[in-house]
Every structure is written in structure tokens, then in C-alpha cells.
Amino acid sequence: MDVSHTAREASNLLELRTVSVVRTKRTIVADVSLGIHPGEVFALVGPNGAGKSTLLGALSGEIQPSTGEALINGVPTKNYRPKQLSQLRAILLQSNQVSFPFTVSQVVEMGRNPWAGTPRADDDEASIARAMDSVGVVDLASRRFGELSGGEKARVSLARVLAQDTDVLLLDEPTAALDLHHQDRVMRVIRRHSRIADDGSVGDSSASSATPAVTRRAVVVVVHDLSLAAAYADRVGLIVGGALVAVGTPDEVMTKDILSDAYQVSLDVTRAPDGNLMVVPTRGVIN
């Protein structure tokens, strides 16, 4: 038996065990088994309609599987009460709509609702300020959310999720409406979140310290930009037709043959000057 593999399974923050999701007789996710480890950024990639958002929903407990089981900290998600789940993981959906004329600061403050009436409510002010600063929306604090641009709304919505201050972040396309500068900034914030240790320090998985800081945090993020996923993710899961067809490091999953087959378009995978992978379409559709 692979002892290291067994140890990783035992330490999974999130886990799917042969999970399928069926809606109106259509299988959206098919027999997916997956473990998310502490300290990692895990990117979900795949074509439109492949099942990425549904898989994220199953990981979060928002969607109960038709078959199989989803677990957080080794406990089936169906065994948690809603408030318990909201104290364990925070979710960013693709839609960034708010029905009432709340200000930006009020929207971010909503992220603290799970901690109302608990000792951690004492951290509300600091958590809100830290979250707004991290994604660069402090100057928008008094603006009405509905008056913001799409990119501004996306950053404010991420600040709300960060203010929730949970160990696990589940993010559905957090960079979709952002310019290049803010895409990079958001992905750096996401990566830093996964590295925050129990003592509040930021660990470095490449460090050679004999007593590395322990983190119980992780991020699962749906990303359409494959080069962005390759630059910031520790591992990548490729979903095609509801099936998880490949899981591994960016180098293992993001090859020319694997990606070209998955997306049905001819792709080149090269190295950028900084050493990260770049995925570039050659515009030749595979027949």
C-alpha cells in the first residue's frame, strides 16, 4: 500500500467519493472521486458545460449527490447544519447580483454573518478591512453595489467571501470579469489564502524548514484561462462531459495532447519566460 497516498487521503479537507449528480435524467457529474489537500490551490478546468460548477456545488454541500458522498473534514456534508457549513467553507458563485441598494462595505460585511453570536464576531471589523484591502476595493466602500462595473462587482463579491474567513474557499470563475492586473492580483490572494498556517503565518511548501508551518486551508477555483490556472494552481482537475478525466500538477495535466482532445481545438503548450506554462490556441479546429 502507498503509505504517502493513504496519509494524503486521511488529511483531505474536501473529498468526493464516486459522486454522480443527475438532473432531469441527465448526468451532469459522473462517478467523480477527488481529494483536496491542505495547503493547495486546486483548479477545475474544462469546456463549457462540462460540469465544473456542479462539481464545485457538490464539494460545498450546496448540491447533494445523486449517488456517492461528499465530505468536509471527513464528515459527510449532509450531516452538517447550514450554519456549520458556512463556518467551514465560503462559496463564490458566478452571479454577482444584490437585490437591494447596499453599499460595498455592507455587502462585504455580509460575509461575517456565519460568525454572528460567536466569539469570532469580535474579528468582524478587522476581517472586513483585510478582505477589502486584499482585492483593492477600499476606495469603493461607500459606493452602491448596483452602480459598479462587472469587474468591480466581482472583486467586491470576492472580498465578501474572504471576509467570511473560512479554511476552505470554493470559487466559481473569480477572474472572469477582471482585467489582467486584477486577474493576477486575485490569484495571488487566492494562493496566499491556501498558505496561511494555523499560527497566522504564510507557509512555503518549498521551504526546507524542519518544522514547517501547518495549514488547514485550501482553495478550489474554477478557471477558464488555462495559462492562469497553470501559473497559480498546485494541482489541476480536467472535467470533460461530467467526468474527471485527468488530475495532477499543471505539467502532468496541461499537455498539448490532453488539452487539445478535451477542448476539441488545436493547442500549443509552451513555457513563458518565467517558467510557467502558456496555453495558446493555434485556431485549427479538430474535425
Write the pLDDT tens digit of every residue in 38-61.
999 999 999 999 999 999 999 999
**Grid coordinates belonging to 248:** 495532477
Domains identified in the chain and CATH numbers: 3-285 (3.40.50.300)
Give which of 107, 113, 101, 115 is closest to 135, Cα–Cα. Answer: 107
What percentage of residues in the chain have a pLDDT greater than 90?
80
For residue 277, what are the β-bridge partners?
A: 271
Write the pLDDT tens digit of every residue in 102-128.
999 999 999 999 999 999 999 999 999
Count the neighbouring beta carbons within 10 Å of the beta carbon of residue 150: 10
Q: What is the pLDDT of residue 1?
A: 29
pLDDT at 96 over 80: no
Provide the angle, in degrees to the nearest 10, between the axes of the packed helices 150-163 and 180-195.
Answer: 10
**Mode of pairing for the β-strands spanning 89-92 and 41-45:** unpaired
Q: With bands split at pLDDT 50, 70 and 90, how would you rate the model's confidence at 236?
A: very high
Which of 2-11, 41-50, 86-95, 139-148 is predicted least confidently?
2-11
Half-sphere exposure (CA, 13 Å, Cβ side) for 125?
1
Q: What is the pLDDT of residue 213?
A: 59
Task: Give the phi and the psi of residue 89 in degrees, each rounded to 5.
Answer: -145, 150
Provide the angle, in degrees to the nearest 10, between the axes of the packed helices 124-134 and 150-163.
Answer: 140
- Give the Cα-Cα-Cα angle 56, 60, 63 (nearest 5 degrees): 80
Write the pLDDT tens digit of every residue in 250-286.
999 999 999 999 999 999 999 999 999 999 988 655 5
Q: What is the pLDDT of residue 7?
A: 39
Give which of 229, 114, 224 is closest to 161, Cα–Cα. Answer: 114
> How much is the pTM?
0.90
Q: With bands split at pLDDT 50, 70 and 90, how would you rate the model's confidence at 4?
A: very low
Write the pLDDT tens digit of every residue in 197-213.
766 676 654 444 444 55
Q: What is the pLDDT of residue 30?
A: 96
